[in-house]
Structure 1
Amino acid sequence: MENKQKELDKGAAASDAELDKGSMHWSQQLAQEVVQKAKEPYLISAGMTTSGPCHLGTLCEFLYPQGIKKALEMQGKKAKYYFVADIFDAFDGVPSVFEKYKSVLEPHLGKPLYVVPDPTGKTASFGEHFMTEAQEIMKHFGVEAQIIKINEVYAKGAFDKYAKLFLQQEEKVKEVVARTSLRKELPADWSPIMPVCEKCGRIATTRVTEHTDESYKYACDKDVKYTKGCGHKGENKLSDHKYKLNWRLHWPSWMDYFGTSIEGAGVDHHTRGGSWDTLLGIFKEIFKKEPPIGYKFGFILFEGKKYSKSKGTGMGVSQLMKLLPPEAIKYMLLKPDLQENIDINPTSVNMLRLLEDYQGAVALIGADEESMSRADRKRLQAARLSKIHEWKTAFLDVILYRQLYGSWENVAKESKDAAGVKYLSHYIEEWEKAGFIPEEYSYKYMPHKAEGKLKEFFESLKDGIQPIEIHNAVFEFAKANSIQPGDFFKSIYQLLLGKDKGPKLGKFLHALGVSRVKKDVL
């Protein structure tokens, strides 16, 4: 399997060089830009605040960088991938999944996520609870990233030099931040740093009152609507590491510290006046350096609404992981153009279309890429970036066999794809539990004796005929006998299943065996 994948990757690298940029998948375009502008080994960074359960939106935040890393490796390049768990952010709301722990959690509002207790007791903190969940999901999807807890980076003093620089040039920094965020001026109490109150532990309610290059005084007296400061006044040194940089300075600082070659963010960060504009200003005017390569990606919507970790909007990744193989989910998210909004509507029909599309894309591997349309090239690259698991039988066909033969042992025997059936069986069982099996595939085989034209039709079928030939035979017979094809299909389903609809007829009769069906109805 590994040798096969290496050959595929080499083939992909060779063909990439021949494609013009406009016909490339977004991962190939960005990999090409990294090679042209950055130095090897390349560093891809990304990050998120683990304030709630992972959903498809957050899944993209670690899948997209993985796609770039994979595209670079397909070209024989060396690349690392750092994923930042930003658990130094303030805890600003109880997510819906923790509603029952509200009374336990609300006293900690405004504190850094890494000091808020995990109400389940499973991990060291609230932030680490959801970070651990994210790590498990990364593993499930084959994401190879080094996880970095940003609070630990602060604790070892890595950001002290940035804090000192920003405090030394505070007026210039404020001017850059205000200008790039399209504000005339920043609030009077704005500061490059956000102290952690040594009395109540909050970070959201503090403000710097005065500072030198090495130390600062602060007051914990802000009202941020969801919590209030305790009124304490204190003083710390930067070397105490009891602060965090303001977000618009924190983001460029971590990229500079890690030596980032490329990092992306959602379109909201890349709008005019967004935090990406500030990042560019900080790199060029304060760091006096060229910024990393940036890219933006669209929103992941759930039935037209934006996902929200804290509000619980949208189906969680863990739920979808029970219904679909990881390859299909990755393919769904990696295939579209990067800036395109992806609207997820996980009905059984939509998921079956996705699975069919994915298996069709996998079938393109090894084909002549130069003769493909751009759409098929995108599908091909998305399939390459997804972990290609060996299953041959179509998902829908496995459902069909399951309804016909019951036990997985019999399904494996009839499909002649034991490994594939074993892999897909867990997902199909979840479909059964969740009621996702399409109505057409929920049936009992209850054949009656055929009469009239139905009898003529079944008498005309030959043993060993293939599914597509059966399908065509229905149309040809209906046309020859002046019968509406739709009506004739209904008549056949009524004869065999006692209902107007059923599985694809050609595949269904072929799975049953034409000789068996003829014996049952004639």
Structure 2
Amino acid sequence: MATEQELAREAKAWPFEEARKLVARYGDKAPAKGYVLFETGYGPSGLPHIGTFGEVARTTMVRQAFQRLAPGVPTRLFAFSDDMDGLRKVPDNIPNREMVAQHLGKPLTKVPDPFGTHESFGHHNNARLRAFLDSYGFEYEFQSSTDWYTSGRFDHALLAVLRHYDEIMGVMLPTLGEERRATYSPFLPISPSTGRVLQVPMLEINPDAGTVVFEDEDGKKVETPVTGGHVKLQWKPDWGMRWFALGVDYEMAGKDLIPSVELAGKICRILGAQPPEGFNYELFLDDKGQKISKSKGNGLTMEEWLRYAPPESLALYMFQKPRAAKKLFFDVIPRAVDDYLTFVDKLKGEEPAKALENPAWHIHNGQVPAWATAADQLKTNLSFGILLNLAGAANAENADVMWGFISRYAPAATPANSPFLDRLVGYAVAYYQDRVKPTKVYRAPTDVERAALEELRAALAQWPADQLTNAEALQNEVYEIGKRHPFTELRAWFLTLYEVLLGQSTGPRMGSFIALYGVAETKALIDQALGDGIK
């Protein structure tokens, strides 16, 4: 029987395709530094967002795939914070904005924390990043740009940039406008008089001395070493320098950064190292197919997704088709949750080769989550879509209402012994209250629809007591009734049930819904629709 490593060599899932680039680079041996290094970057002028989650999740998936392909090679993942960048503008969503405005231009780790909880604004946002990554169980090592610059660990790389100054300028200048070219330098000195990060031309370059000369804000000429945190680099040269200094082997980036990746790669080669492997993922679109913009606010935030669905569903969304532009808006959430549940269910009995192609394998690093085994034992098998429709039919204000129905359908299940299901219940109530309830529109049935609903009502009134939760039998009954009435197509019958009974254009598998919601309760829904016409 083939080993997991042998199966991984043939696996087609994109994380394995990416990981094989590293195998081609190093084989089954570690590079000279002793490990393969994965990196993700973070700009701490703002809080972590959905893109941060996606980049770390996707990189983790590639790392896990590589660990199967080369199990004897150590790996590390650096979450690198560019916290020595100068603060360019005051964010809108922070307190004490006037205080922060007095420190514009200073490194983020030198700007006082407007929240008053940390050493600096950079330290505050770094702490938020670590808490954010920790909450999802990511395995990573946090790295601070300020620490690397000021500790001297970047010194050898910065001196290399100084030695190759003209070559790096030759790479950068053709990418800049005429006005920017006149003052550009890859080095950004820290002003000794104001502490700000300066974008000024270099008056002298002294590779032998390891210094540069520039004009400070007070008009004085200053000679400063490029080492020890006295300067930082413009972000594109900084990226290439970091790859060289750390020996980064893998880093992905958004499609919009392809030109920057190419420039950083050229600079990394100039310094004497091979750029990392990686790929460029596509950007997200809104519900109209337009590129998501922070300034427009036309996207879906991570906080919004996680109000309505578990992080595993977001990880699935990030896994699927990373090179394709995808719409990111509220309506994709329920499908993502149910797709995640389906993939986990398949993973439980899948043969090893197929398991490696299953997104749930990559989300859970090859392990079936404990909740899935518990759900098997309790035989709940409730989809998120069913829970959403239950919330709608019951007009659920809280989880207790939902559990009243669930307990009748699956008596062994409780919030205590089914914590993942309980989380889904909470998400379903929140999604229904915020996103579904305000848009519900019921309509009266046509004559054809009324006749079919009356037959369904009569069938439910006579339904055997020992078949009340038999979803398959209920589904067959609904199906047969629809076939006996002159609908243009059977889909029109199910659309009738959704629009007339549930007030929405899409809905669940009706047999499963009736089994969960209740035969008597569904009959009451039909009575209301037939009696009042429109609710």
Query: Which amino acid in structure 2 is aligned with residue 126 of structure 1?
Result: F
**Which position in structure 1 is the counterpart of 2:267?**
282
CA distance 1:178–1:185, change in 2 (3 Å):
farther
Query: Which amino acid in structure 2 is aligned with residue 316 of structure 1?
Result: T
The alpha carbon displacement at 1:314 in A equals: 3.0
The alpha carbon displacement at 1:520 in A equals: 11
CA distance 1:435–1:172, change in 2 (3 Å):
closer
CA displacement 1:46-95 (0-9 Å, x = unmatched): 21211212222222222221111121233434311011000111211223
Query: Which amino acid in structure 2 is aligned with residue 434 of structure 1?
Result: D
**Which position in structure 1 is the counterpart of 2:482?**
478
Worse overlay, 415-424 or 451-460? 451-460
2:116 to 118, 121, 138: 121
1:363 to 345, 362, 381: 345
- Is this contact kept in 2: 1:174–1:186, CA < 8 A? no
- 3-state SS in 2 of match to 1:263: coil
**Which position in structure 2 is the counterpart of 1:219?**
215
The alpha carbon displacement at 1:435 in A equals: 4.2
- Is this contact kept in 2: 1:55–1:317, CA < 8 A? yes
CA displacement 1:455-490 (0-9 Å, x = unmatched): 543366444273243233223223235466577668
**Which position in structure 2 is the counterpart of 1:446?**
none
- Is this contact kept in 2: 1:163–1:193, CA < 8 A? no
**Which position in structure 1 is the counterpart of 2:154?**
159
- Is this contact kept in 2: 1:91–1:109, CA < 8 A? yes
The alpha carbon displacement at 1:231 in A equals: 4.7
2:164 to 169, 179, 189: 169
1:321 matched to 2:321? The reply is no
CA displacement 1:241-285 (0-9 Å, x = unmatched): 211022232112212222211112222222xxx22222332233x
1:266 matched to 2:254? The reply is yes
CA distance in 1, matches of 2:144, 2:58: 20
1:192 matched to 2:192? The reply is no
TM-score, structure 2 as length reference: 0.78
The alpha carbon displacement at 1:122 in A equals: 2.3
**Which position in structure 2 is the counterpart of 1:457?**
459
CA distance 1:29–1:455, change in 2 (3 Å):
closer
CA displacement 1:396-454 (0-9 Å, x = unmatched): 33445556594465355334443133332442343355344686799xxxxxxx99645
Query: Which amino acid in structure 1 is aligned with residue 9 of structure 2?
Result: A
CA displacement 1:313-341 (0-9 Å, x = unmatched): 633322322221010011111121x3222
CA distance in 2, matches of 1:34, 1:49: 26
- Is this contact kept in 1: 2:385–2:507, CA < 8 A? no
Q: How many residue pairs end up in the alignment?
A: 485
**Which position in structure 2 is the counterpart of 1:333?**
318
**Which position in structure 2 is the counterpart of 1:59?**
53
1:342 matched to 2:326? The reply is yes
Residue segments in structure 1 that go unaligned for 5+ positions in a row: 1-9, 222-229, 443-449
2:385 to 376, 396, 406: 396
The alpha carbon displacement at 1:183 in A equals: 7.8
- Is this contact kept in 1: 2:386–2:508, CA < 8 A? no
- Is this contact kept in 1: 2:470–2:515, CA < 8 A? yes
- Is this contact kept in 2: 1:300–1:306, CA < 8 A? yes
CA distance 1:296–1:34, change in 2 (3 Å):
same
- 3-state SS in 2 of match to 1:111: coil
**Which position in structure 1 is the counterpart of 2:532?**
none
CA distance in 2, matches of 1:412, 1:50: 44
CA displacement 1:100-133 (0-9 Å, x = unmatched): 6432322222221111222111222222333222
TM-score, structure 1 as length reference: 0.79
2:229 to 212, 234, 241: 241
1:140 matched to 2:132? The reply is no
Q: % of aligned pairs identical?
A: 22
CA distance in 2, matches of 1:235, 1:498: 73
**Which position in structure 1 is the counterpart of 2:103?**
108
CA distance in 1, matches of 2:166, 2:238: 17
CA distance in 2, matches of 1:69, 1:250: 24
- Is this contact kept in 1: 2:285–2:291, CA < 8 A? yes
CA distance in 2, matches of 1:265, 1:109: 28
CA distance 1:14–1:154, change in 2 (3 Å):
same
- 3-state SS in 1 of match to 2:268: helix
2:357 to 345, 370, 377: 377
CA distance 1:452–1:511, change in 2 (3 Å):
closer
**Which position in structure 2 is the counterpart of 1:83?**
79
Query: Which amino acid in structure 1 is aligned with residue 119 of structure 2?
Result: A
**Which position in structure 2 is the counterpart of 1:225?**
none
CA distance in 1, matches of 2:133, 2:56: 8
**Which position in structure 1 is the counterpart of 2:43?**
49
CA distance in 2, matches of 1:313, 1:483: 40
1:17 matched to 2:9? The reply is yes
CA displacement 1:343-397 (0-9 Å, x = unmatched): 20113xx22111111111112213246679xxx9364555445984625432233
- 3-state SS in 2 of match to 1:197: coil
CA distance 1:460–1:103, change in 2 (3 Å):
same
The alpha carbon displacement at 1:42 in A equals: 1.2
CA distance in 2, matches of 1:505, 1:43: 50
1:354 matched to 2:336? The reply is yes
TM-align CA RMSD: 3.9
CA distance in 1, matches of 2:301, 2:504: 35
- 3-state SS in 1 of match to 2:83: coil
